Amino acid sequence: MTISSLIDTPSELTDAASSKTAIVLMTRVRLARNLAGNSFPGWAKPAQREEILATCREAVSATLPMKRSLSLSIDELTDLEKQILVERHLISRELSGAKSGAGAVISRDQAYSVMINEEDHLRIQVLRSGFQLKKAWTTINDLDSALEDRLDYAFSPTLGYLTACPTNLGTGMRASAMMHLPALVIASQMEKVVRAVNQLGMVVRGLFGEGSDASGSIFQISNQTTLGESEEGIIKRLGSVLNSIIEHELNARQKLLEADPNKIFDKIGRAFGILQNGHVLSSSEAMNLLSLIRLGVDLGVFPDTNRCVIDRLLIESQPGHLQHAQRGEFEPGQRDLLRAMRLRSEFANFTKPNFTLSSDGPN
């Protein structure tokens, strides 16, 4: 399998069949693992990094879920290819910045990806569309156990899995959900939510993790602590936090509609107008407009079947994907023109908004 065929293969994220996932777009679980007796990637000598990379690539590729996978070394990739993998959440920005001695193994359906020599020797990830925390955990647990047959993990009975950064000690697990929370953003309640979630030991970040912004009203919510609690315990606690955020978002939508439906319909209608007719769209503006259309789908302004179209466009409007589709590299200014053109053609035949149905209330 090659990188270009991977990019063109429908992925868990770009081709999610589950259009029911109104608020949780996707669930992700990652495990940090290291090999006993080896320096962590940030401290290892280049030769040792290469050795670890080779050992891990071989071990990971041999597991069942990676039967048909792409195993790559970071120095084989172009900047554009790396950017696409980051936009699909298959590798991190940190890994894409690595010069050499790092890589990744990615399953064909892109539900599994294992980064090698990022902050830790192994960052195992499972990605599922929709709200599937438990499923994601059991799948990643199996992959981890399969790797254990082939690799000697650094583990301490008291501290658990030993990681480069002490904040990942113990389970080494970070479980997260990507949530679409437009009503909480419109109602300016996000700050309150962030504070409440923090107090429960969970963290809220933007779409691409630490330090990224939350354009498109998409947030990543994950556990902050990894030691002193079992994986199941963390999953359960995160699940209940996510459920309560969903409830708050639904309440906020209800309140917005009750207070003044015209205000919210105006936002959705304008977004639709710009997507149909705009000529210059930055990626952040496109995200925000698509987010409003997605809210429109949830409120019954557009048919339910359109949700997966929007979810696909949210990814395809990202700079890397846009340039890949146009088969070339373009300056940001040119990209904004191309993006608007792409969205105009997508929305030319989009179902007309129907603002009358919505008296039934949001679904």
Binder to other proteins among 23, 74, 204, 242 (CB under 8 A)? Answer: 204
Stretch that binds other proteins, among 142-150, 268-276, 294-302, 305-313 (CB under 8 A): 142-150
240 binds other proteins (CB under 8 A): no
Instruction: Among 32, 59, 72, 173, indicate the residue that binds other proteins (CB under 8 A).
Output: 173
| Shortest Å distance, C-beta 105 to other proteins | 20
Q: Which stretch binds other proteins (CB under 8 A): 71-79, 123-131, 165-173, 308-316?
A: 165-173
Query: According to CB under 8 A, which residues from 21 to 50 bind other proteins?
Result: 34, 36-40, 42-43
- Identify the helix (H) or strand (E) that includes residue 343: helix 332-348
Q: What does the alpha-carbon distance between residue 35 and residue 53 come to, in Å, rounded to a whole number?
A: 11
Of 167, 284, 351, 363, the residue at the interface with other proteins (CB under 8 A) is 167
Q: How far apart are CA 156 and CA 356, in angstroms?
A: 61
Does 211 participate in binding other proteins (rule CB under 8 A)? yes
Q: Please name every residue paired with 126 in a beta bridge, in sequence order, or none if there are none.
A: 29, 112
What number of chain residues touch other proteins (CB under 8 A)? 52
CA quadruple 243, 227, 143, 239: dihedral, nearest 10 = 0
Torsion of CA 236, 108, 23, 313, to 10 degrees: 160
C-alpha 336: how far from chain center:
23
In the complex, least distance from residue 213 CB atom to other proteins, rounded to whole angstroms: 10
Q: Which is nearer to other proteins, 166 or 303 (CB)?
A: 166
| 357 Cβ contact partners less than 8 Å away, ≥ 6 residues apart | 300, 301
The one-letter amino acid code at 17 reads: A
Would you say the C-alpha torsion 222, 227, 229, 232 has a positive or negative sign?
positive
Cβ-based nearer residue to other proteins, 167 or 354: 167
Instruction: Give whichever of 194 and 338 is closer to other proteins, judged by the CB atom.
Output: 194
d(CA 344, CA 351): 13
* Smallest separation, CB 148 to other proteins (Å): 5
Q: Which of 32, 13, 11 is nearest to 175 (CA)?
A: 32
Measured from the CB atom, is 159 or 357 closer to other proteins?
159
- Rule CB under 8 A: choose which of 157, 349, 359, 360 binds other proteins: 157
Encoded tokens for 321: 């994907």
Distance CA 11, CA 242 (A): 24
Task: Catalog residues that contact other proteins under the rule CB under 8 A.
Answer: 34, 36-40, 42-43, 119, 141, 144-145, 148-149, 151-162, 164-167, 169-171, 173, 191, 194-195, 198-199, 201, 203-204, 211, 224-231, 233
